[in-house]
């Protein structure tokens, strides 16, 4: 059976909800099933990417720590919404790793091409 195209979007800020971490767990499981995965950070979701986070006192998992290792799971399509950094006055240098950006029309296209979208 052909692998499914799965798009996982993280739109919620870190620490207030467990859903972004749940998204990461779905991603890792789907990767283990050799599905074709795209990860996209939109809106407040880009705040997960800030390198100067200290999650230890929150008792919650931090997605930014897992990002660099995702390539080991063959997850190579990781993007962020083009305007989301600019709107929040965040510079590229403040992120844990450089990521390719998608404009809103490109996001619409990626969404249309996916077989399944998880949008947290």
Partner 1 sequence: MILHLINKSPAKSSALEDCIAVLQAKKSTSAMMLIEDAVYLTVSQAGNEALHEKIRTLALPCYILKEDLTIRGLSLDLADCFSLVDYAGFVQLSLDYDKVQNWS
Partner 2 sequence: MQSFTLVIYGSPESQSSSTALNYARALLKSGHEIYRLFFYQDGVLNACSFNTPTQDEENLPVIWQTLIQEHRIDAVVCVASALERGIIDAAEAERYELPASNLREGFEISGLGQLVDGLINSDRLINFLP
Residues lying near partner 2 in the complex (CB under 8 A) are found at 1, 4, 6, 18-19, 22, 25-26, 29-30, 32-33, 35, 116, 118, 120
Contacting positions for partner 1 (CB under 8 A): 11, 19, 42-43, 103-105, 107-109, 111-112, 114-120
Closest CA to 116 of 17, 18, 26, 20: 26
Query: Of partner 1, partner 2, none, which one does residue 60 interact with (CB within 5 to 8 Å by kind)?
Result: none
Strand partners, 10: 41
Query: Of partner 1, partner 2, none, which one does residue 35 interact with (CB within 5 to 8 Å by kind)?
Result: partner 2
Query: Of partner 2, partner 1, none, which one does residue 33 interact with (CB within 5 to 8 Å by kind)?
Result: partner 2
Q: Do residues 111 and 7 touch, judged by C-beta distance below 8 A?
A: yes
Token pair 């059976």 is found at 1
Structure token digits, residue 92: 């590229």
Strand partners, 101: 80
């Amino acid at each position: 059976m052909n692998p499914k195209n799965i798009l996982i979007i993280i739109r919620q800020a870190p620490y207030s909800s467990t859903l972004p971490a749940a998204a990461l767990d779905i991603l890792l499981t789907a990767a283990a099933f050799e599905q074709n995965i795209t990860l996209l950070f939109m809106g407040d979701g880009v705040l997960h990417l800030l390198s100067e986070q200290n999650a230890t006192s929150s008792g919650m998992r931090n997605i930014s720590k897992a990002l660099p290792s995702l390539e080991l799971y063959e997850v190579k399509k990781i993007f962020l919404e083009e305007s989301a950094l600019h709107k929040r006055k965040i510079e590229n240098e403040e992120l844990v790793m450089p990521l390719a950006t998608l404009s809103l029309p490109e996001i619409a296209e990626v969404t249309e091409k996916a077989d399944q979208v998880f949008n947290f």
